[in-house]
Copies of this chain bind each other. A is one copy, B any other.
Amino acid sequence: MSFTRITVVGLGLIGSSVARAARARIEGVQVTGYDADPEVRATAREIGLCDEIADDADAAAREADLVVLCVPVGAMGRAAADLAPALPADAIVTDVGSCKASVVEALAAALPGHVIVPAHPVAGTEQSGPTAGFATLFNHRWCILTPPEGTDPVAVDRVAGFWRALGAEVETMAPDHHDRVLAVTSHLPHLIAYTIVGTASDLEEVTQSEVIKYSAGGFRDFTRIAASDPTMWRDVFLANREAVLDMLQRFSEDLALLQRAIRWGQGDALFDHFTQTRAIRRSIVEQGQDDARADFGRTHE
């Protein structure tokens, strides 16, 4: 029951990785790619990303038995609506959006009567565009499915099988819970990283060149995720507003506590806090979600 005619809509980092992984790992599959941007379509053709690149949404949808929507979450509804007229009645739709409640709603509205199995592969890099993707991006990363209640369980199984075929481990979760989990493990870290990189570039007496030169003291780790795609992240924060604002509030309270400890010279409070945070790092490395090599295995040669 695996899919044989897959259409990938949106050929950025994630979409182009889905296309590459599907072609590399699913035997006999036909992958059609589509992107609303003609330049992206031209690049995708040039690099031979898919078996076929469609020039409009109708052509992209017509033959598909699986559609994978890989556009920013704010563009999901529109992308789905464009496909709707030509989409076969038995085609299943999945997506890769970083927040799910709003996407579930947008897709249901745009594709009434279609089977939709929303998904979020928790994987990525700081690079963007059709040339940035690679076939192994999803290997050993989690892909979270958030099927709304009442979704056909056979369709959910088939979509789970698709993501497993791409190398991912699959987990299922309610859309709202997904959005709260990701607000803390992904959205808040990105917001903080974007903020601190902005703060550092706005100082009067410390030059931009000093910030760059001495970034190895910790700052450079933040700049990687603050180099992520701006459109994608604008949409995430607008779509997952409530959960992000709540996590941000908690973060600010915790930061105020450490700020106060610094102001009042409370060394023991600082030490205790800094000790607790090491265990989480150890578990992340043990569970294969990060590189065990010191300093992210950066070269010092």
Q: Which residues of A contact B (CB under 8 A)?
A: 74, 98, 122-127, 132, 134, 136-137, 139-142, 144, 171, 177, 180-182, 184-203, 205-206, 208, 210-228, 230-231, 233-235, 237-238, 241, 244-245, 247-248, 250-252, 254-255, 258-259, 262-263, 265, 267, 270-271, 273-278, 280-284, 287, 289-291, 294-301
B residues less than 8 Å from A228 (CB atoms)? 274
By secondary structure, the A interface counts as helix
Chain B residues with CB under 8 Å of A132's CB are: 294
Q: Is the CB of A224 within 8 A of B185?
A: no
Copies of this protein in the complex: 2
Report how far A200 CA is from B277 CA in the complex, Å.
10
Chain B proximity of A20: nearest CB distance (Å) = 12
Residue from A144, A177, A198, A271 having most chain B Cβ neighbours under 10 A: A198
- B205 contacts A184, CB within 8 Å? no
11 A-B pairs within 8 Å (CB atoms) are namely A141-B216, A186-B218, A191-B262, A195-B254, A197-B281, A199-B247, A200-B280, A224-B281, A230-B278, A248-B255, A296-B298
Closest residue on chain B to residue A301 by CB atoms: B136
Report B-chain residues with C-beta under 8 Å of the C-beta of A137: 300
| Inter-chain contact A200/B219, CB cutoff 8 Å | no
A259 to B241 alpha-carbon distance, docked (Å): 9
Name, among A137, A185, A252, A301, the residue most crowded by chain B CB atoms within 10 Å (CB to CB).
A185
Contact between chains at A223 and B281 (CB < 8 Å):
yes
A272 and chain B: residue at smallest CB distance: B230
Which residues of the other chain, B, contact A134 by a CB distance below 8 angstroms? 300
Docked-complex contact A218 and B263, CB < 8 angstroms: no
Determine if A199 and B291 form an interchain contact, defined as CB atoms under 8 angstroms apart: no
| A202, A216, A221 pick with most chain B CB within 10 angstroms | A216
A186-B217, A216-B290 are known; give 6 further A-B pairs, CB within 8 A: A140-B300, A181-B214, A198-B276, A208-B283, A234-B274, A238-B267
Q: Which residues of B contact A298 (CB under 8 A)?
A: 290-291, 296-297
Give the CA-CA distance A226 to B103 in the complex, in Å.
Answer: 33
Most buried by B among A142, A245, A296: A296
Bound-state Cα–Cα, A247 to B203, Å: 9
Tell me the smallest distance from the CB of A205 to a CB of chain B, in Å: 6
**Given known A-B contacts A220-B290, A296-B298, A203 and B274 have beta carbons under 8 A apart:** no
B223 & A277 in contact (Cβ 8 Å cutoff): yes
